[in-house]
């Protein structure tokens, strides 16, 4: 394990650390996080329109169409919101005029969006279907804008001019170039191949990435990387989600559309699955470990940690356990910390794929406690039961590793209290 840790610290950690601080990935992550309040609001209306109890669902059926109007106004705009927010965050990291960058990126997004036969803007391309082109155009807009600023190819105004005015004129030349480039590429694609930029990005990026990210193997790789990073003290979900979140959100919106249409949900993997189901108590199914600390620990350290962190774990905050136990760089706990969420992910996926539990389609706050989160994300009461089963499975896997670590800490505590005493393997003198 020491050799493995050395190799990880020498080769893996520097790369992971750079990824965590890479400005473009951070901008994508923060930009997509900005859509979360709207998605949660839309999900609330989705739960009301399609409640998990059958009798309630029948009662709400006549009102479902009206109740889902806010769903279209929230889920249906995540691409449009993301293009502004990503450009805004990236420009801010460069100390540029973030507002102008965000506005230009929105304009570029609309230029790239094909109109319907009636000349209207298609709502579906404002949502998750437009999320990938939104990311590309946001990054492109800021980098072009930055190039013009660095080369000083901008209109300069006297110092006496109000900031709101000179900012507008500073953005004029780079903005015109950005719009012209996006418009020109779109016209070229349309005339030569009868494609739009949205079609091109969907063919080259969105559809292949959804196939990978929406598969069980893709999910397991993401889960493994999240917990491997956490094992070395790096916020795993922040790094992995900065790359994978657009895929997970787009898969979720397809489930939302299917739910509204009364069709079978097409995907198991999506944002609710990756945010909730293998993270009961936080990363690593930390609630299972916290319960063992509180219930079975004999060492003072783990017992007190269990008492201190049980409520935070109940609301899916795992940092007290990860850094307090610690899990970080602790060979005895790292092994189950990585294995447990993988096993839970497989159990959950199989249960949903064979129809024992409904597929998740509702986005909820990540602090929603179990088993309510299981019911709410799936709209299925059996989701709560599956979450409890997963918790017991997690405790069973953690238990032998926890016992070894607890005994180790107990020996160390006894030795500090009575340096000359001899402690046996079961913790007694």
pLDDT for 113 beyond 60:
yes
pLDDT for 277 beyond 50:
yes
309-338 pLDDT, tens digit per residue, is: 999 999 999 999 999 999 988 888 999 999
Task: State if pTM tops 0.85.
Answer: no
Q: What is the dihedral of CA 219, 89, 138, 35, to 10 degrees?
A: 50
pLDDT for 107 beyond 80:
yes
Q: What is the pLDDT of residue 16?
A: 64
Compute the distance between CA of residue 90 and CA of residue 406 in angstroms, rounded to an integer.
Answer: 46
State the average pLDDT for the chain. Answer: 88
Q: What is the pLDDT of residue 276?
A: 92
49-83 pLDDT, tens digit per residue, is: 888 777 888 888 888 889 888 988 888 889 999 99
pLDDT for 377 beyond 90:
yes
Q: What is the dihedral of CA 203, 206, 212, 214, to 10 degrees?
A: -130
- Average pLDDT (139-148) is 96
pLDDT for 425 beyond 60:
no
pLDDT for 240 beyond 60:
yes
Query: Closest Cα partner for 233 from 159, 314, 324?
Result: 324
Contact 318, 235 (CB under 8 A): no
DSSP H or E segment with residue 304: helix 300-314
Q: What is the pLDDT of residue 210?
A: 84
Minimum mean pLDDT range among 106-110, 143-147, 409-413 = 409-413
Q: Which residue has the higher pLDDT, 7 or 122?
A: 122
Q: How confident is the model at residue 5 (pLDDT cuts 50, 70, 90)?
A: low
Q: Which residue has the higher pLDDT, 146 or 166?
A: 146
pLDDT for 250 beyond 70:
yes
Q: What is the pLDDT of residue 423?
A: 47
Helices (H) and strands (E) in the chain, counts: 23, 0
């Amino acid at each position: 394990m020491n050799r493995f840790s050395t190799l990880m610290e020498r080769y893996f950690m520097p790369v992971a650390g750079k990824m965590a601080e890479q400005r473009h990935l951070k901008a994508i992550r923060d930009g997509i996080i900005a859509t979360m309040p709207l998605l949660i609001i839309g999900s609330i209306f989705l739960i009301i329109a399609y409640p998990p109890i059958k009798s309630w669902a029948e009662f709400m059926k006549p009102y479902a169409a009206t109740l889902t109007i806010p769903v279209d106004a929230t889920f249906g705009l995540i691409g449009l919101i993301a293009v502004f927010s990503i450009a805004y965050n990236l420009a801010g990291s460069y100390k540029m005029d973030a507002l102008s960058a965000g506005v230009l990126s929105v304009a570029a997004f609309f230029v790239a969006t094909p109109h319907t036969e009636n000349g209207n803007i298609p709502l579906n391309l404002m949502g998750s279907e437009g999320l990938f082109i939104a990311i590309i155009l946001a990054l492109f807009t800021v980098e072009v804008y930055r190039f013009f600023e660095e080369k000083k190819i901008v209109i300069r105004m006297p110092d006496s001019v109000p900031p709101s005015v000179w900012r507008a004129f500073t953005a004029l030349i780079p903005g015109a170039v950005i719009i012209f480039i996006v418009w020109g590429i779109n016209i070229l694609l349309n005339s030569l191949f009868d494609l739009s930029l949205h079609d091109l990005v969907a063919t080259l990026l969105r559809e292949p990435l959804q196939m990978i990210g929406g598969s069980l193997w893709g999910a397991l790789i993401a889960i493994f990387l999240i917990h491997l990073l956490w094992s070395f003290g790096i916020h795993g979900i922040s790094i992995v989600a900065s790359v994978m979140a657009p895929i997970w959100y787009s898969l979720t919106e397809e489930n939302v559309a299917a739910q509204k249409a009364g069709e079978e949900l097409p995907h198991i993997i999506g944002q609710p699955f990756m945010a909730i189901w293998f993270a009961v108590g936080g990363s690593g199914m930390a609630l299972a470990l916290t319960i063992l600390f509180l219930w079975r620990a004999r060492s003072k350290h783990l017992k007190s940690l269990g008492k201190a962190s049980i409520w935070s774990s109940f609301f899916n905050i795992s940092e007290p356990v990860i850094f307090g136990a610690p899990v970080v760089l602790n060979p005895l706990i790292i092994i189950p910390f990585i294995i447990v969420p993988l096993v839970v992910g497989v159990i959950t996926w199989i249960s949903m794929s064979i129809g024992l539990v409904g597929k998740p389609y509702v986005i909820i706050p990540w602090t929603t406690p179990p088993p309510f989160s299981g019911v709410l994300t799936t709209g299925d009461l059996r989701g709560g039961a599956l979450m409890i089963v997963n918790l017991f499975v997690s405790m069973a896997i953690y238990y032998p590793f926890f016992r070894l670590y607890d005994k180790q800490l107990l020996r160390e505590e006894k030795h500090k209290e009575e340096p000359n005493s001899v402690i046996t393997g079961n913790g007694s003198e």
